Structure 1
Amino acid sequence: MTDTQENNSNGALLAVGLRQPPANVEAEQALLGALLTNNRAYDRVSDFLAGEHFSSRVNGRIYEALARRIEGGQLADPVTMRAELEHSGILDSVGGMAYMGQLLTSMVGIINAGDYGRAIHDAWLRRQLIDIGENVVNNAFGVSSGLSGQDQIEAGEEALFKLATEKGKDGDFVPFNKALAGAIEVAAQAFQSAGHVTGLTSGLRDMDKKTGGLHPSDLLILAGRPAMGKTALATKMAFSAARSLLRAAEEKGERPKGSVAIFSLEMSAEQLATRILSEQAEVSGERIRRGDIGQKEFDRFVRVSHELASLPLVIDDTPAISLSAMRTRCRRLKRTQGLSLVVVDYLQLMRPSVGSRPESRVLEISMITQGLKAIAKELEVPVLALSQLSRQVESREDKRPMLSDLRESGSIEQDADAVMFVYRDEYYLQQRMPKETAFDSMDKYSAAMDDWQRKMGLVHNKAELILEKQRHGPTGTINLFFEGEYTRFADLDTIHEP
């Protein structure tokens, strides 16, 4: 940087530092005057304006005192407010009760109260932006040590997202009548839905019946041993949710308002896309990789790919992604495209937030599951996280998983709203195929082979989704159809209506 450039840069920073933060004291006084004259003006600003939004601390405290009386069903005017204001000393710094007369002369009509309230709130938002900008600049200059450039970007994005979505307010109590209204709305949505599904559809009829779909703010764990089909089942759910979002938008003639994000830590984006294409085009993924397909199959493959291109589905295949980076990308996606579902494949491959140094692997997994639950609640989306199972499953005669089989099971089981296991008896039975050399006669071998084939026929193309924990509903086993050639899960129909 040249001396001239450096001087210009320093001059610009100095000019910024000398500017007065945005404020609209006149609007604050006018609004307070309107509230003192007509308490009904409060209804026009109460849903978005708080005392902290006023640039003048005195004006903010007067607003809070007025709000307390009005919300308590009491009259708030200069006469009724006099005792509280004099006793609290709120007006001492502005000339005492004479300031109330100044407010009354500045009053606006009740019709304009909402506009003045929004002007006050807008000035507060600008002040918050300036504070965030100053923090970004100070951190970039190295005032806060130990933060890399990427960490600073994530911290800045987090502050901006919080300001944009929460308007900077901290969490507070929710009145029970408001919570009841939300519960009734959910129940009405389920009642009016053809499949009685309140959340996003999983694409599996029997699972939706048992769970009501994938619900916002829920952390769902899908676990299983290798080769059970965890990724295939999660991909099925993600694809079905994205397709339902697209269809709902097309019915209204608009673009999808939400999207499905898959964080694939094990497979690349291309591998995951190939798996979805294989399932939908009914072309074996193995044959696709070998190029062992005919022209008709290839044409079908291309046609289906064009149909799927408009799905609101995005894939992030960053290996060993950190929890903080995942949170930042989800926030950005929600802000730009909308976000309806997050799928993580799988949580043992994740890293905790940048800067944290857990003492053990159990504590590390605990931090990750707590972080995933926090993302689900903050962004109000379901988070479906895949998990590996410990090898102790293999040592049992009945290899159906249990909660204790989860790796670092304590934290996962505790933080999850639902825990599901995918299990295929066919996989284990296939490994126990009789060998001729193990029998001393052909009769015994033939009998063993017949028995094995009979058992294989009973479990062929069948899978179990074991819902071991569900915080908001029943548990149990859901039988599914599994087609290994296309790694495809579907509903299992055992009874056919005429």
Structure 2
Amino acid sequence: MSVFAVREAGSADLILSNPAAEQKIIGQLLYDDSWAEVIGDKVDDRDFADPLLGRIFAVAMREVAERRRVNLVLLAPLFKDDDEFHDAGGQRYLQDLTRDAMTDRLDDAYCSQVRLLATQRRLIASLRETIQSASVPGADLPAIVASADSALSAAIEARDDITFRDGSDCIDEVIDGFDRQIVGVTSGIVEGIDHLIGAIRPGWLGILAARPGMGKTATIVSYLRGAAAQGHHVLLASLEMTWETLALRLIADHCHSTGQPVSFDAIMNRRVQDHHRRQIRAMRDEIAALPMKVIDKRCHTLGQLRRAIRRHKRLLEVQGKKLDLVAVDYLQLLRPDHRGNSEFDDVSEVSRTLKQMAGEEDVAIIALSQLSRSVESREDKRPRLSDLRSSGQIEQDADFVIFLLSEEYYLSKEEPRSDDQHYDAWASKMERARDRLEFSCAKFRHGADGIHHGKFFRRFQAVR
């Protein structure tokens, strides 16, 4: 018998397999069912190219799980109605498999190879399905690409062995970690987030939420610029603004940090003076050197966002570098690959998937979020967790939730006439609130809630 086999299961359907390795696994399980735990951690019934061996494996593992003995005598009656089992020789077939195990102990390499070949088969099947779908005239190519990406990810997804650790292992890990540097992202610019959260770790999902006009986008642009200046590789996916508009905000923020501020309005409307133009040209190389990228095509779906993240990760990994932080502006504009029955369902799915994505891609994710209009109807405009728009799932999935509040924004809309008796009181409040931005951490899974006051220089779209 050939060690490897490439056989046709249908028209042009070549299946990679190692029949001998699959038989060795089943033989060992029948000969000594105490191997079930070891084998079950490495392969499952879906990994067998031979459907009969896959069924035998599934039944054997089910019997072991129910604490019943497994051997060729006890297993054979369970296949009395299986024609393929009888065609293969019935109980005599199981005897042959068991006899081989008696003379040749199972090697871990058999399980590894069966698993590897199964992964290759799933990958081939996913590619074929994609080709078939894309061959139809008028095919929905974005949907096909999204579906293919999900299918390919599932096909090659690694399955980790389950491990158990006792209390001493956990304590030793903590003690050993005291001397290790914390891996995470800080800004060094936006003190509100740095003070409340500290280093944002890989796998975390953070939510930065506020009503319009509070400075969400300005905050995340300033935070990313600061993080990039410290060497962190960051990626911004904006579903609301074009990359050109974000570039203008980045320039205004950077100019402010140099002590030579240029108003965002002047940059936006191309009303910069000659010396400002020279200044911006001079800082061009500084900004270009930052390890910060903006996705130049809006990622409207989770599948598109995941592909963009993976593509950038691959480019960095080739250079021996790592993607540290992804920011999404903003969460409610991101759609699941398959729409739900309501906005609530869609936002819940987006929230859950972003949290999963952070873990699977080993990056931190910060998603900006809108708040419901109920904030505006209250005298106290300070946001609450219940104000998170569309879904309580966001609160559940997030590692931290930070709200932004600019009292200056609301006061500016209440300005009385200069001859009004209340003008002086308003002016006093306005002076205290000027450029003041409140960061309120309403949830932190890994620490305490709290409030920190920073600065939002609105004219320059710079947050500190």
Provide TM-score, normalisation by structure 2: 0.74
In structure 1, what is the equivalent of residue 273 of structure 2?
Answer: 292
Higher share in helix = 1
Q: Measured at CA, do residues 431 and 41 of structure 1 come closer, stay the same or move farther in structure 2, by a change above 3 Å?
A: same
Q: Measured at CA, do residues 116 and 274 of structure 1 come closer, stay the same or move farther in structure 2, by a change above 3 Å?
A: same
In structure 1, what is the equivalent of residue 4 of structure 2?
Answer: none
Whether the aligned pair in 2 keeps the contact of 1:418 and 1:469 (CA below 8 Å) is: yes
Whether the aligned pair in 1 keeps the contact of 2:195 and 2:452 (CA below 8 Å) is: no
In structure 2, what is the equivalent of residue 467 of structure 1?
Answer: 441
In structure 1, what is the equivalent of residue 251 of structure 2?
Answer: 277
Q: Which runs of 5+ in 1 are unaligned?
A: 1-13, 248-258, 440-444, 491-498
Deviation at 1:479, TM superposition (A): 1.9
- Are 2:285 and 1:303 aligned? yes
Mapping for residues 317-466 of structure 1, pairs under 5 Å: 317-318=297-298, 321-334=300-313, 337=316, 339-354=323-338, 356=339, 358-359=341-342, 361-408=343-390, 410-433=392-415, 435-439=417-421, 449=424, 454-466=428-440
Deviation at 1:396, TM superposition (A): 3.5
Whether the aligned pair in 1 keeps the contact of 2:192 and 2:439 (CA below 8 Å) is: no
Deviation at 1:273, TM superposition (A): 2.5
1:177 to 165, 187, 192: 165
Question: What one-letter code is carried by the residue in structure 2 that aligns with 1:266?
Answer: E
Whether the aligned pair in 2 keeps the contact of 1:267 and 1:317 (CA below 8 Å) is: no
Question: What one-letter code is carried by the residue in structure 2 that aligns with 1:348?
Answer: Q
In structure 2, what is the equivalent of residue 268 of structure 1?
Answer: 242
Whether the aligned pair in 2 keeps the contact of 1:287 and 1:293 (CA below 8 Å) is: no
| Secondary structure of the corresponding residue to residue 456 of structure 2 | strand
Question: What one-letter code is carried by the residue in structure 2 that aligns with 1:159?
Answer: A
Question: What one-letter code is carried by the residue in structure 2 that aligns with 1:297?
Answer: Q
Q: Measured at CA, do residues 362 and 146 of structure 1 come closer, stay the same or move farther in structure 2, by a change above 3 Å?
A: farther
In structure 2, what is the equivalent of residue 103 of structure 1?
Answer: 100
Once the two structures are overlaid, the 10-residue window that deviates more, 396-405 or 87-96, is 87-96
1:315 to 295, 303, 308: 295
**Structure-1 separation of matches of 2:60 and 2:373:** 64
Q: Measured at CA, do residues 67 and 241 of structure 1 come closer, stay the same or move farther in structure 2, by a change above 3 Å?
A: farther
**Structure-2 separation of matches of 1:213 and 1:484:** 26
Whether the aligned pair in 2 keeps the contact of 1:207 and 1:213 (CA below 8 Å) is: no
Question: What one-letter code is carried by the residue in structure 1 that aligns with 2:207?
Answer: I
In structure 2, what is the equivalent of residue 8 of structure 1?
Answer: none
Whether the aligned pair in 1 keeps the contact of 2:438 and 2:451 (CA below 8 Å) is: yes
**Structure-1 separation of matches of 2:358 and 2:273:** 42
Q: Measured at CA, do residues 457 and 276 of structure 1 come closer, stay the same or move farther in structure 2, by a change above 3 Å?
A: same
What is the aligned residue count? 436
Mapping for residues 42-57 of structure 1, pairs under 5 Å: 48-57=42-51
Deviation at 1:391, TM superposition (A): 3.8
1:384-429 deviations in Å (ceiling 9; x for gaps): 2222234443444332222343333545445544332111223334
The share of aligned pairs that are identical, in percent, is 30
In structure 2, what is the equivalent of residue 478 of structure 1?
Answer: 452
Whether the aligned pair in 2 keeps the contact of 1:280 and 1:304 (CA below 8 Å) is: no
| Secondary structure of the corresponding residue to residue 327 of structure 2 | strand
Q: Measured at CA, do residues 69 and 199 of structure 1 come closer, stay the same or move farther in structure 2, by a change above 3 Å?
A: farther
Question: What one-letter code is carried by the residue in structure 1 that aligns with 2:273?
Answer: D
**Structure-1 separation of matches of 2:389 and 2:116:** 49
CA RMSD of aligned residues (A): 4.6
1:132-178 deviations in Å (ceiling 9; x for gaps): 13322443455xx99722211211121112222335x9xx9x66538
**Structure-2 separation of matches of 1:298 and 1:341:** 27
Once the two structures are overlaid, the 10-residue window that deviates more, 153-162 or 380-389, is 380-389
**Structure-1 separation of matches of 2:414 and 2:13:** 78
Q: Measured at CA, do residues 396 and 124 of structure 1 come closer, stay the same or move farther in structure 2, by a change above 3 Å?
A: closer
Deviation at 1:58, TM superposition (A): 5.4
2:153 to 140, 153, 161: 161
Mapping for residues 212-223 of structure 1, pairs under 5 Å: 212-223=198-209
**Structure-2 separation of matches of 1:405 and 1:182:** 38
| Secondary structure of the corresponding residue to residue 166 of structure 1 | coil
Whether the aligned pair in 2 keeps the contact of 1:423 and 1:464 (CA below 8 Å) is: yes
**Structure-2 separation of matches of 1:190 and 1:454:** 50
